[in-house]
A = this chain, B = another copy of it.
Amino acid sequence: MVETQSRRAQILASAAELFARKGVGATTVREIADSVGVLSGSLYHHFESKDAIVDEVLGDYLDALRARYAEAVARGTNAADCVRQLVLASLEVAEQQPFATAIYQNELHYLREQPRFKQVQTAAAAVQKTWLAVIEAGVANGEFRSDIEPRVFYRLIRDALWLSVRWHRPNGDYPTTTLAEDVTSVFLDGYTARRKSAARSRTGSTPKRAVKR
């Protein structure tokens, strides 16, 4: 179960972890090679360059994210539900690819400066467009507030969501689905306690956990 991965996949996985922790610019090809147990020269049998590794890590991640987003908006029944689905989709992809998620959010600004990573730019634009369309539709139909700009709300929820890969380690006690509920609930309902809001209480929302906390 430990040697079923191709060397190529091993390199991608190890490199992603290093890029996420230290940053792309501060990670050396020798470190990547060490982490998979080969010498640095051997990496170039599998990849053209260090940038090519970055490209592939982010490309795989963005493909997964876009595919999952398409499902999410298709499933949503209204704006609030679409937000719920997008939150869950983001966190599920982040759970599957935590390191790529971290790289994406840590280095997006820097990568955008380099024409090499144009693919990343266009994918990031598509992600933003998906969110904004949902939020603006919710404002237009009265589901969401109109006194806060959709763009501001998008950026707040996006950053809170993406950064959760830095601290959230999915496990039985606090699974991704529960985090998704908490994020959705805070951003849509707020953290202020409101009396008599039984409709928001968390009874049958998910299969997991009965009362807890």
Contacts and interface: CB of A to CB of B under 8 A. Distances in A.
Chain A contact residues: helix, strand, loop or mixed:
helix
Interface residues of A, number: 47
A189 interface: yes
A92 to B, nearest CB: 18
Interface stretch (A47-55, A93-101, A148-156): A148-156
Interface in A33-88: 80
Given A23-B23, A23-B26, A110-B23, A188 B191 contact: yes
A147 interface: yes
Counted per complex, copies of this chain come to: 2
Interface string A8-40: 000000000000011111100000000000000
Contacts of A153: 186, 191
Nearest 7 Cβ contacts at the A-B interface: A25-B26, A190-B190, A159-B163, A147-B202, A189-B190, A156-B160, A160-B160
A109 B21 contact: yes
A4 interface: no
A164 interface: yes
